[in-house]
Structure 1
């Protein structure tokens, strides 16, 4: 016999309003941890910039920070689905804090060097490769289903707000304090994130059943099972394909904003700050809107609507003339506003419809494939923008998002993804319930 931990009113987490208090405590702790992580990221990148002045070093730092997500992400997801997710989150936060503490000590004694920073960036990324899927997969068991899209919206809002606040806050702190004291803030925020997890039980999914009494298969089998799960649902593979295409054109465009400001609009640091603020404020307001609204009844319709809006916003930025900086500013704000309305529902679709025991693998699979394409697209986008102008890439991103939104709204395998995944999960639960205990 199995114990159903899906988000139903019978589960203790959904007893009246109790789930709100419990989840708010964990969510608030994670918000502090995210702020500390962003401060560390800003501080270390700035230190590398000041110490080396090398674009190669900065590019290497970016690559070092992405590699663990790309290379070990799927394996981390398989392990998250096997292990206690609360313990994973505590260990990930604690491990990241310990790596920061080591670097704080090196800075304090004047022994820190570029390789040390690279190592810490890699260790922090490794911790994130475990923490992010554990939190995402646990959310579906902590939050009632009808509230998952709203929680996804608030998560997007939080991410946007921290991206706005952390850089100037970090800059102010670095002017007032030595870098080791700024980095030490991350240790304190990690403690704040760990504290509620020590006292609040995070619900766990049922473990996968033994096969013919031979014991649970190994982690490599679980990893392969995650790939098979995605492969046998055409809509989910289309989902991943669209995510790859959008990531390929969208994130290089965001990275090229400084070139757009200087080369096309003839702007300076102030104009770049306005663009960054427009993007960040748009994300905050879009996340807040989704958090209050919750989206359309069909989450894929919400995501398709958001992606269409992203495409329109990017196209406006790309078509703005040299004298139309205000037009580009508005287009980027609108793009930022639509960004969480696209991504929040996509995360909620997976949380709602993927079997809880499979969510860690599916989340990390999605994250790995979209992260893997980014370095390649950046290598292509730079020369293309140099050759034909940076506006071309923004226009390309806009048109691509518009085409992909049409796929999300009208291509049957993707449009019917939610229903297909629900049917598959129900079938899996029936098979699991029939297994002998």
Structure 2
């Protein structure tokens, strides 16, 4: 089925934009509160091991539970998954606010809360991403993903100073109520908006494990999506360590300070916003895969340039980092749009969470390699290796027919009855 055919059977996009706007506000509030929580944890413990544990707790639900969460999303009503997920996050924040107010808070409470928040976010993200395909015309998918990338890049830039302002002005119990309020903002339109659901089909099995197996089987039969997943995992394995080592790179190679590190992180966010806005306005090339590979190649050149940046020309590092952020948005936004346009709606929960799980699992593996390799080869090695990996992956993909034809060989359902059914509204 072509994008045009799917878009003709898609409801008007106005409800989606209302939902997206409220979710964007909720994301900003959640990240500001997350900043405050991590700051409290840092001030309270002063322990690097505790902070590393908190990071792992936030990552593990996506890596370990992704296939399970995706299967639930494809079996259950996605509207109610988002309602319950947002409501659960609000309840967790209210519970933490009570613990802070009664001075009963402990590090263990915060770890539990971070894990529960991550689980709720994973459910919500999978349900929202899978619902997008049935709420907007397929021709808008690239632009929407561009805006999502701009949001993901811009939220940290706004949430960090907002979180710092909240920490300076309010007690933690009051800060957490901000998260409760923004979660309620996200929930309110969901009560009234009808969210289309994919009709049941051969993508469902009588058992939960059977449904999960069908998701793996789908990827095995669709080589284009499978190769994209493998490519993303490979790039993450080599590129992620480079940016984890960014503070060390700034100190040892650029002879910089925390100020230079802050500028690089800020310019990366600005690049992510620029790439997302560019994709949102332009929409990319006619073939989304071309946009993705163009962005990957540009990102590879930029990462190599960053690794070669001389200490005496810090502006070269800034320009390189700006291009890294821009390329990242073009790649991620285009790939998400490709999957939304080519994976049947009743499989999307499983496929999106499986992609996130596999790509995310490369992060701890890459981090395990980062320090020992950097000690032998130097920190610059990771930037050169990461950039070369991006270029090789982009070049190799152009020679793989399954990848280059992924948008023309997609097998979407032809029966209109399978496209969607409406989630019941209030009453």
Q: Runs of 4+ in structure 1 displaced over 4 angstroms?
A: 429-433
2:252 aligned partner: 263
2:134 aligned partner: 141
CA contact (8 A) 1:163 1:280 kept: yes
1:321 aligned partner: 310
Provide, for residues 144-201 of structure 1, a one-character-per-residue CA deviation record: whole Å limited to 9, x for no partner.
0101100000010011110111112111211111122222211111000001100010
CA distance in 2, matches of 1:8, 1:240: 26
Unaligned runs of 5+ in 2: 420-427
Distance 1:360 1:333, change over 3 A: same
1:204 aligned partner: 197
CA apart distance, 1:393 = 0.6
CA apart distance, 1:252 = 2.1
Q: Which deviates more, 322-331 or 76-85?
A: 322-331
Provide the TM-score with structure 2 as the length reference.
0.94
| RMSD, aligned CA | 1.8
Distance 1:267 1:225, change over 3 A: same
Which residue, 297, 301, 322 being the options, matches 1:308?
297
Q: Structure 2 matches for 1:12-23, cutoff 5 A?
A: 13-14=11-12, 19=13, 21-23=14-16
Provide, for residues 230-284 of structure 1, a one-character-per-residue CA deviation record: whole Å limited to 9, x for no partner.
0112222211110101111222222221111122112112111110111000000
Provide, for residues 293-341 of structure 1, a one-character-per-residue CA deviation record: whole Å limited to 9, x for no partner.
0011111100000000110110000011221221111100011011111
1:9 aligned partner: 8
CA contact (8 A) 1:141 1:356 kept: yes
CA distance in 2, matches of 1:400, 1:298: 23
2:422 aligned partner: none
CA distance in 2, matches of 1:382, 1:117: 28
Which residue, 36, 53, 64 being the options, matches 1:43?
36
SS at match of 2:7: coil
CA distance in 2, matches of 1:432, 1:169: 44
CA distance in 1, matches of 2:203, 2:280: 40
2:351 aligned partner: 362
CA distance in 2, matches of 1:431, 1:50: 56
CA contact (8 A) 1:93 1:190 kept: yes
CA contact (8 A) 2:7 2:136 kept: no
Which residue, 211, 220, 226 being the options, matches 2:209?
220
Q: Structure 2 matches for 1:53-64, cutoff 5 A?
A: 53-64=46-57
CA distance in 1, matches of 2:334, 2:135: 17
SS at match of 1:164: helix
CA contact (8 A) 1:301 1:408 kept: no
CA apart distance, 1:208 = 2.0
1:425 aligned partner: 412
SS at match of 1:207: coil
Which residue, 107, 116, 120 being the options, matches 1:123?
116
Distance 1:249 1:209, change over 3 A: closer
CA distance in 2, matches of 1:432, 1:149: 23
CA contact (8 A) 2:203 2:214 kept: no
SS at match of 2:317: helix
Q: Which deviates more, 229-238 or 406-415?
A: 406-415
CA apart distance, 1:363 = 0.2
Q: Structure 2 matches for 1:37-436, cutoff 5 A?
A: 37-208=30-201, 216-420=205-409, 422=410, 424-426=411-413
Provide the TM-score with structure 1 as the length reference.
0.92
CA distance in 2, matches of 1:167, 1:121: 18
CA contact (8 A) 1:310 1:334 kept: yes
Unaligned runs of 5+ in 1: 1-5
